[in-house]
Each structure stands twice: as structure tokens, then as C-alpha cells.
Amino acid sequence: MNKNKVKTEKRNRRRSKVRARVSGVEKRPRLSVYRSLRGIQVQLIDDTSGRTLVSASSEKLETSNPSTKLGAGKKLDDEKSGKIAKAFAVGELVAKKALDKGIKRVVFDRGGYKYHGRVKAIADGARKGGLKF
């Protein structure tokens, strides 16, 4: 069987287990993470009404403000660089947008990905931005 197909199936199984336990409501929406090879996207979702309240992505981050453009060689902190730095910045951006809408508490949905690297950087950035998990 194709290796990528197996990896996708395993992630989908993990994702369904996480989604069985995690659900977002309007006062405490679900912070959903999607990670691709190129970038990372985050959404705050109200599952009761099926609406996306806030969204942010690394691609929108680069196009919206040229001063926040982070290349592979540039560093945000001493230990963070490249994709992890972008993910951290996306976490801070989604926290800022959520606080502007009056959302302070969220439920974290890692989307079947392991909690390390870029996924952890999203969570750390959102916490630093003021969101409570």
C-alpha cells in the first residue's frame, strides 16, 4: 500500500478520536489546526451553528503585513525559525483577532497531528496572545 495513503488514514483515525472528545460552542469555540507542507491554517469554529468565527493562515500573514514576513533564514526568537516561527506568529494573530471579537477561552483541536513543532508553536503563540485553553 502507498506510504502516503497509510499516513493519511492514520491521521484521519487520530483526528476522529480527537473530534469525538472536542466540540466548540459560541462562548468557547474550537481552535482547529490544519498543517500542510507549505503553511498552516487556524480557525475558531462554533460547532453548534457550524460557523467559522475567526481564521488566520501563514499565507495571509505574509500578504497582509510585509514587516511580519519571515523567511527560512530569519528568526523570530532564538530557538524558533522558519515554519515554526510562522506558526507562532499565526497563533498570535488568531489570538488578537479572537480577543477583538470578545473570545478569550477556546478548546484546542490539533487535527490529528502530534502536539509538537508547528502545532505546538500555534498553541504557544495563541497563549502568548491572550487565549486560554
Which has more pLDDT, 116 or 61? Answer: 116
Which residues are paired to 44 by β-bridges? 31, 54
For the entire predicted model, the pTM comes to 0.80
Tens-digit pLDDT profile for residues 57-110:
999 877 665 554 454 444 445 455 689 999 999 999 999 999 999 999 999 999
**Domains of the chain, each with CATH number or no CATH:** 3-129 (3.30.420.100)
Contact between residue 70 and residue 89 where contact means Cβ atoms under 8 Å apart: yes
- DSSP for 79-104? S-BTHHHHHHHHHHHHHHHHHHTT--
Question: Residue 117 above 70 pLDDT?
Answer: yes
